[in-house]
Amino acid sequence: MKSVLNFGSINVDYVYTVEHFVRPGETISCQEYRRFAGGKGLNQSIALAQAGAYVYHAGKVGSTDTWLKTLMEDKGVDTGFVEIISGSSGHAIIQVNAAGENAIIIVGGANQLMSESDVQRIVADFEPDDYLLVQNEVNAVPLIIQSAKAKGLKIVFNPAPMSADVLNYPIGLVDILIVNETEAHSLTEESEPERIYETLNQRFPQIALVLTMGNKGAAYFSPQARFFQPAEKVHGVDTTGAGDTFIGFFLAELISTNDPKAALAYATRAAAICVTRHGAADSIPSRRELRTQQ
């Protein structure tokens, strides 16, 4: 069975429910405060495991937050490549407004401490045609992509949070690029889905693009196929983790069925459930839950 190696962030999420996002110079009171497990990497690993994939997480976490590693294990993630360090974990400060939208500040912490020897040692344990998943909340992303590609892994890259450095990453080695509209615009300076893909395709002819568009749905583009999946209509209370849920369920279903259209529909359904719940990792549904709702 194909495995997924996810080099990803492990965060503590501090979530503040507010009427509106705080403005410059303003002090506001929050309506509710909660602490959750988070980090795009952790969320995506849990989503992969919940969707039925076999996923190994590679990352680092502070010694005071070993509960995050335990949580991943309880959700079915293999954490043999998660290192406990003496420093502080990554964390996120998240505002969630009355519309369920979020604004996030990320502190890298342990997520920024992956060394070249760490990368080479971990990648060596995987086989050609396994999958690498990586986001942009960890350091050494170019090295991770290059090392995994040299081993023959299929590369799935989610350049979130987007930064100017991404433009210099080896995107030509990526097999599947998963971006939202903002990230896509930063990469291509285009806003229309077809133009986004055409611009990327000119630079990287073999790349497949998954474009997520919030409550408008998602689209898939590749040299072989193009299709759109509308979002399901739900009452959203918190969008935190929805994109990560989508990615985990999309990749798990793609590995299982080799059908990107089915994977897109499956991921969209999972993300719709996620936004009806608070938190990130805690809001990710299970494969059984999705199957029973069909």
> What is the set of active-site residues?
244
Comparing CA positions, the residue from 61, 49, 77 lying closest to residue 137 is 61
- In the sheet that holds 54-62, the strands lie side by side as 78-85, 54-62, 3-7, 131-134, 154-157, 176-180, 208-212, 218-221, 226-229
Cα–Cα distance, 133 to 211 (Å, whole number): 16
Instruction: Quickly tell me which residue has 């194909």 as its tokens.
Output: 2
Instruction: Quickly tell me which residue has 């009452």 as its tokens.
Output: 235
Helix 193-203 × helix 181-188 angle, to 10°:
50
User: 90-96 and 102-107: which strand pairing?
Assistant: antiparallel
Cα–Cα distance, 187 to 167 (Å, whole number): 7
Contacts for 195 with CB less than 8 Å, ≥ 6 apart:
188
Instruction: Please confirm whether the linkage preceding 205 is cis (ω < 30° from 0).
Output: no
Tell me if 275 sits within 8 A of 234, measured CB to CB: yes
Q: How many CA atoms lie within 13 A of 53 on its CB side?
A: 31
